């Protein structure tokens, strides 16, 4: 199986990384704001803190890395004084599919159960409703049990079934009750909940990021306003009772593989050419793929009917090359999207030195990667 992992990492670099549908979940990428040219916020994340600093750099405090956010859940004297943070998704979720939303929270007070998550089809920043009047998608307490008295980082996880309309995610204190009074900390009047390591990923292992996720990320990162300029933008839409046009996001992809095995008997004995039955099998296989979206192909030439031992003799190499050229033309695949595996690496064998009993039998395996 190792050869498949190497191939996927080579042709699909994004498949080897985490399938996080959110940008900058660890807050390590710093946004340099337009107004002050300072790293005042994480890239891709916005809030209602105004001039109040809620973005911190401290590797000794962060759950991982060195950056983290603070959410204000309440204040000693100001009623319902709260802040939130929101981000845009990279791709559209698939209706009915399940996703794992995960992040880490930390607080000096027993208030983690008040934190909620809210998926919206519109930009929550433009919403005029007060946080305590909103019914979020879920509260932490719905699927998690924060440990009272634990002031360290606690992992929060949700299993979420998508509606297909999600564009933004907001994290805040959505509880109906106010959090106020003394914090129990010297000179501290804010009830803080710290946030780090946010991720949203498909539970289906075949579901991957959309094809243009990098473009979506670049668009999100291009928004550098965070203070006065951004507040003007918010005030304009709110004064007009308008909601900004939501981003047009591409749907996540479901990746599958289609496999064809061409056995030794389907080739002309001692030659690289296929028998008529071999061409018929290859034709039938390709014809079934013409209406599907193809990504890449992998071809392996092996030293026997079974096993992972590559054959590197001249006939084996020529057979793999023949199959490559055939599917390149038949499926209209670019040459750089077809890889012949094992010709110059990995365990290999000349047919003459194959395991006794295998004779001169070879096989060629063809894998086509397609997506929905």
Angle (deg, nearest 10), helices 276-287 and 314-330 = 40
Q: Structural domain boundaries of the chain?
A: 17-239, 253-371
For 145-161, write each residue's pLDDT tens digit: 999 999 999 999 999 99
Q: Concatenated DSSP letters for 45-87?
A: EEES-TTS--EEE-TTTSSSSSEEEEEEEEESSSTT---EEEE
> What does the DSSP assignment read for 284-331?
HHHHTTTTSEEEEEEEEEESSSSSSPEE-SHHHHHHHHHHHHHHHHHT
Find, among 271, 297, 279, 267, the residue nearest to 364 by Cα. Answer: 267
Residues of the chain where predicted confidence (pLDDT) is lower than 50: 1-17, 344-358
pLDDT tens profile 232-266: 888 888 888 777 888 999 999 998 889 999 999 99
Specify the pTM: 0.77
Secondary structure class of 220 (helix, strand, coil): helix
Q: Indicate the CATH number for domain 253-371.
A: 3.30.1330.60
CB 302 within 8 A of CB 309: yes
- What's the CATH code, domain 17-239? 2.60.120.260
Give 3-state DSSP helix, strand, coil % of the chain, rounded to 5: 25, 30, 45
Q: Compute the Cα dihedral for 317, 322, 325, 326 and give only its sign.
A: negative
pLDDT value of position 1: 32
């Amino acid at each position: 199986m190792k050869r498949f992992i190497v191939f996927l990492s080579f042709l699909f670099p994004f498949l080897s990384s985490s399938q996080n549908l959110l940008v900058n979940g660890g807050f390590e990428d710093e946004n340099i704001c337009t107004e002050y040219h300072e790293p005042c916020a994480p890239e891709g994340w916005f809030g209602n803190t105004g001039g109040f600093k809620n973005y911190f750099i401290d590797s000794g405090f962060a759950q991982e890395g060195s950056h983290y956010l603070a959410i204000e859940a309440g204040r000693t004297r100001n009623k319902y004084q709260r802040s939130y943070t929101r981000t845009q998704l990279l791709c559209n979720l698939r209706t009915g599919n399940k996703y794992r939303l995960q992040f880490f929270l930390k607080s000096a007070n027993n208030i983690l159960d008040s934190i909620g998550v809210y998926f919206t089809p519109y930009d929550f920043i433009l919403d005029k409703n007060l946080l305590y009047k909103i019914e979020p998608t879920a509260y932490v307490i719905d699927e998690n049990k924060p440990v009272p008295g634990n002031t360290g980082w606690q992992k929060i996880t949700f299993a979420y079934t998508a509606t297909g309309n999600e564009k933004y995610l907001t994290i805040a204190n959505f509880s109906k009750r106010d959090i106020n009074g003394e914090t129990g900390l010297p000179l501290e009047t804010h009830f803080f909940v710290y946030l780090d390591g946010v991720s949203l990923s498909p539970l289906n292992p075949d579901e991957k990021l959309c094809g243009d996720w990098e473009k979506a990320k670049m668009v999100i990162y291009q928004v550098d306003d965070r203070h006065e300029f951004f507040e003007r933008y918010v005030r304009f839409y709110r004064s007009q009772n308008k909601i900004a046009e939501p981003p047009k996001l591409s749907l996540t992809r479901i990746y599958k593989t289609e496999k064809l095995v061409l056995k030794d008997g389907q080739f002309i004995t001692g030659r690289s050419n296929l028998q008529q039955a071999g061409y018929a099998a290859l034709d039938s296989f390709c014809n079934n793929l013409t209406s599907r979206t193809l990504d890449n192909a992998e071809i392996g030439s092996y030293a026997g009917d079974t096993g992972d031992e590559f054959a590197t003799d001249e006939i084996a190499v020529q057979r793999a090359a023949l199959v490559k050229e055939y599917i390149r033309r038949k499926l209209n695949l670019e040459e750089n999207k077809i890889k012949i595996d094992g010709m110059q690496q990995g365990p290999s064998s000349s047919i003459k030195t194959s395991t006794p009993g295998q004779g001169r039998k070879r096989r060629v395996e063809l894998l086509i990667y397609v997506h929905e």
